[in-house]
Amino acid sequence: MRPDAPKEHVVHLLRPTTRAPRALTVALAALLAVTGVAVASAPAKAARPLVLVYGDSLVAEAAPFARDLLRDVAQVDEQVVGLGGTAVCDHFDLMRRDVARRAPSIVVLSFSGNSLTDCMKDASGRQLLGSAAIEKYRRDIVEAVTIFRPGSPQIWLATSPISLLAEKRSEDGERRMADMMRSLAAQNPRVHVTDAAQAVLDNGWWTRTLPCLRNEPCTGGIDARGRRVNVVRAPDGGHFCPTPSPIHPQCPTHSSGALRFALGMLVTPLRAASVYDEGRAARTMAAGF
């Protein structure tokens, strides 16, 4: 898992297909039928588990690492959708389309509390704020769980890290969102919480840097404790890209914060489903997480 596609992943993308063209397959079957040679039916290939991830700009930033983790370490099918500024309710239509055509094993919802879009307005057309916004998120998560009732996939709710500005103002929206998620998990055995926020925090507090993971590029210098570190939060204090980047998913350099957030979102759910391969993980940037 690197910010650019790993060599082995590129090989997979460039490997020529071994599937015969349809016309050739039909002709071969006809020839075998004429000559009396039986054509054996190929055994059905077992479907791989499917993991669906929905979220906002933090998920958009983490998406390249999340996809690599799901494909290369867990070896599951995946769909990771992160849209900046969105809330759970903005994804309802996509969720309904997804569940109508395929059966996920795991669904991850990762939203930091945005209240910017039309579905986060009250009856008077005003944007919901504070407790009203959190209550709307609670209702919308319940609706999302209902959407994914067919097949009973496990639903994982990922916590979001506090921003520098919110911490300076002593705001507690992220904590209240996390408390709401845990209350929903306590009420429904299909709902769980993965504390993704802690992957980019220092014992619960905002931090600019964290010690480098074993296999990731280590470019943040040395901290006051003599540790080699990476920058894990963006200049805006909320996102992850260590350099100014107007389009968050396209960070021009390695984004350790995005990597860690992807791991925080997914490692616990994948381990719970017994699809996280520790041996494969040890050969990637997930090593040591």
Tell me the CA distances in angstroms from 187 to 182, 183, 273, one per residue in order: 9, 7, 20
Give me the pLDDT at residue 151, please.
87
Nearby residues of 158 by Cβ (< 8 Å), 6 or more positions away: 55, 108, 109, 110, 193, 194, 196, 197, 264, 265
What parts of the chain have a pLDDT lower than 70?
A: 1-46, 246-249
Instruction: For 258, list phi and psi in degrees, rounded to 5.
Output: -65, -40
% residues pLDDT > 90 (the chain): 80
How far is C-alpha 225 from the chain's CA centre? 32
Q: What is the pLDDT of residues 81-91, one digit of tens each?
A: 999 999 999 99
What is the torsional sign of CA 17, 23, 29, 34? negative
Any residues with CB less than 8 A from the CB of 29 and at least 6 apart, and which?
39
Q: What pTM does this model have?
A: 0.83
CATH number of 46-281: 3.40.50.1110
> Residue 201, Cα to own-chain centre: how many angstroms?
18
